[in-house]
């Protein structure tokens, strides 16, 4: 069996703010922008990984969801309790400085972790935690 990651999803509450961060700050390219039933999905990805997409989707992408469920998801997103992604970088410190200089909300400055990486963390405009990791050189 030969399988590989094709897409992952990140919940956002404002696609324009998310685009300003993922496209303009992180440098991801926009691959698709689709609307359906008052919802929007924007697909972005790293130019170096044309076969892996990140879909920026509504917090609850189900047109039949109840108002209570929509509210619950919005509250979880606002608290930063929904998981996002971990990005690999060749230079954690330079990535950190670039994102911080662009106004990214810092959660963790670069640090060597006991599990073999140097990483840092930020929140995106919707509150999702994003980690940027670099393997430690031995």
Q: How far is residue 124's CA from residue 127's CA, in Å, rounded to a whole number?
A: 5
Q: Output 138 or 7, whichever has higher pLDDT.
A: 7
Q: What is the pLDDT of residues 38-93, one digit of tens each?
A: 889 999 999 999 999 999 998 887 878 898 998 999 888 888 888 778 999 999 99
Q: Which phi and psi angles does 75 have, rounded to 5°?
A: -70, -40
Helix (H/G/I), strand (E/B), else coil: 59: coil
Q: Residue 86 is encoded by which pair of tokens? A: 């971990």
Q: What is the pLDDT of residues 83-124, one digit of tens each?
A: 778 999 999 999 999 999 999 999 999 999 999 999 999 999
Residue 128: closest CA among 82, 94, 92 = 82
Q: Residue 29 is encoded by which pair of tokens? A: 């390219």
Residue 61: what pLDDT?
79
User: In this structure, is the dihedral angle defined by the CA atoms of residues 95, 16, 54 and 82, taken in order, positive or negative?
Assistant: positive
Helix (H/G/I), strand (E/B), else coil: 72: helix
Residue 62: what pLDDT?
81
Provide the 8-state DSSP code for 80.
T
Residue 138: what pLDDT?
66
Instruction: Indicate the pTM of the whole model.
Output: 0.89
**Residue 32 predicted with pLDDT over 90:** yes
Q: Output 125 or 37, whichever has higher pLDDT.
A: 125
């Amino acid at each position: 069996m030969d399988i590989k990651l094709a897409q992952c999803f990140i919940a956002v509450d404002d696609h324009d703010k998310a685009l300003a961060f993922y496209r303009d700050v992180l440098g991801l390219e926009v691959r698709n922008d689709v609307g359906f039933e008052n919802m929007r999905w924007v697909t972005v990805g790293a130019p170096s990984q044309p076969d892996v997409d990140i879909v920026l989707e509504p917090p609850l992408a189900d047109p039949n969801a109840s108002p209570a469920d929509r509210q619950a998801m919005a509250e979880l997103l606002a608290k930063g309790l929904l998981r996002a992604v971990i990005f690999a970088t060749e230079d954690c410190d330079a990535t950190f400085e670039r994102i911080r200089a662009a106004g990214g909300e810092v959660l963790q400055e670069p640090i060597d972790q006991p599990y073999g990486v140097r990483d840092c963390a930020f929140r995106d405009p919707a509150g999702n935690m994003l980690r940027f990791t670099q393997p430690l050189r031995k």
